[in-house]
Structure 1
């Protein structure tokens, strides 16, 4: 009997679940998605919904608990948190009941180490940036293999060699590529679910600074004020890729989802990386700039800077960023995961 696998997804942003969905579609064995999944589209997926482990009350969640006496191998282990206690109990019960061959962990140091204690082999997702703190290194050490959901060319220079050697570079794990057949002069700005979103006055100032192009903004936007005729705020849309396919230029952060979208569509890209722990977006953006795959500007530009930045971005060769995309990445990743799981079934 073929044993199934589990895929743990973090609840900060939508990219973790999107990766799992893209790869699970190609897996030849059962796959259960584990995570706090309220508010996410899980249609067609086998799931194990977990109790929320975020701080009680209104504290912002950054993946750390701030405790002075927390074990050094952990990031987040608050005491007397009923959600966290129930979450781990549910994971343990699922493992005991289903006997998974492998657990993919995207991402959590604590779940990776807990799986090791449950005697479950893990494939731990390693995000971009320099993650050489002790908790990350211990999670990497506990894993059977590591999975980087980006091309090796975008890896950071400070990654230890033993971590690189343990890593499977899967490339961008996205859904099917939508070919660009209706290119226009439009600028498309994408804000993801895990970031701060856009600011209406800042977007209006940018659109006014380049009045000869239509600006289409996808994702959350806050604030109010007068909006110029060439600025269109669409909010959440189900067909982000279709909007991007018609763009002359894509503007967005340095998260995996937006960068993968730019690569899949071979779109000229103005990357505005947001501050993230471990330099996740800034290091990836710097690699894109070195390759000539994007124009990079940290922080939202002043209105006067937009004409220059857009001119530079439009001069990019889109084949460079397009070369970072592999249309078979998700299928090849699934085959690798299946082979890894099979290797544990034979032991």
Structure 2
């Protein structure tokens, strides 16, 4: 029987879920997604899934508020029954399914739990400055790392051994889009993991650049009842296929999350990047790398004032879209899945009768 691969999916934002589904569908092996899916549609999962209890404490902001947390952990609140049940359910699935490998996207604690349970891991390494002890220990525990972006966007200080252990997958959802005629529109994209847009600020921006249609994708807060919305502002809400809305765009405005950047790269669109605050400067680091490549105009201090938009649009339209298009790798998903399959096969080969694995490698009896 072919042993399965597990994929642990973090619940912040949509990028982890989308990445897991893409990898799971492309794998030849059975694949089980593991995570808290209360904000997802598990019916879209590529196979079976393990739904975990939520681990967030009241007023969750990423901090467990523990003063004596072990230095190798990021999040370990005491007295939380959801975490006990969560970790027990992961351990129970591992004991029953005997996975050949678990892909962890992302959690230091889950990566270390899998290592304690004697399961090889492939840990996702996100952008940003992740040289703190918990990250490095998770990286050290893993058989290999996946960076879900091109090597050209790998910024920040990182030990050589971490880079050597990393497979740069490229943007898995960024296959180049077919060329299409642009109609001058500006498309603004708000991802699921951020605060969304503010209707009043969007209206001000559209008023400031009245000769272009503004199409807004994703969550927007505020009510139009108290505003006179400009005729060139169009709100689409949450959409399932961002790429289809980018085809006619002359300029895209969005954050620095993997999903948004991957969509812009795949569509080869001029990009104004507004990185949102994230732990370890994840979006800021990616935005800085895009700017250094000449692939985006970056504004790092929040949504620009209305008076800034005419010049920002002018600068954005002056970008050469070939610069951002060059970051697309048509074979990114195929290449990444091939590496995962090869890793899984190597692990299985090492468990064949007559062999065992030591820190020195494969030793025959």
Q: Same fold (TM over 0.5)?
A: yes
CA distance in 1, matches of 2:212, 2:176: 25
CA distance in 2, matches of 1:121, 1:22: 21
TM-score (norm. length: structure 2): 0.92
Structure of larger gyration radius: 2
Q: Counterpart of 2:358?
A: none
Q: Counterpart of 1:65?
A: 64
CA distance in 1, matches of 2:298, 2:7: 33
Q: Counterpart of 1:337?
A: 340
- 2:9 corresponds to 1:9: yes
Aligned to 1:250, the other structure's residue is in SS state: strand
Q: 1:262 aligns with which of 258, 261, 264?
A: 264
Q: Counterpart of 1:243?
A: 245
After TM superposition, the structure 1 stretch with the greater mean CA deviation from structure 2, 145-154 or 34-43, is 34-43
- 2:26 corresponds to 1:26: yes
Aligned to 2:56, the other structure's residue is in SS state: coil
- 2:145 corresponds to 1:146: yes
Tell me, which stretches of 5 or more residues in structure 1 are unaligned? none
Relative to structure 1, is the Cα distance of residues 88 and 44 closer, same or farther in structure 2, using a 3 angstrom cutoff? closer
Taking the TM superposition and a 5 Å limit, the aligned residue runs for 1:42-121 are 42=42, 43-46=44-47, 47-55=49-57, 57=58, 59-62=59-62, 64-121=63-120
Q: Counterpart of 2:314?
A: 311
Tell me, which stretches of 5 or more residues in structure 2 are unaligned? 351-365
CA contact (8 A) 1:23 1:331 kept: no
Taking the TM superposition and a 5 Å limit, the aligned residue runs for 1:181-260 are 181-224=180-223, 225-260=227-262
RMSD, aligned CA: 1.2
CA distance in 2, matches of 1:200, 1:289: 27
- 2:345 corresponds to 1:346: no
CA distance in 2, matches of 1:65, 1:180: 48
- 2:286 corresponds to 1:277: no
CA distance in 1, matches of 2:174, 2:269: 16
CA contact (8 A) 1:180 1:246 kept: no
Which 4+ residue blocks in structure 1 deviate beyond 6 angstroms?
A: none
CA distance in 1, matches of 2:73, 2:271: 36
Q: CA offsets per residue over residues 44-81 of structure 1, 9 Å max, x none? A: 422111111111x3x0332x312100111101111111
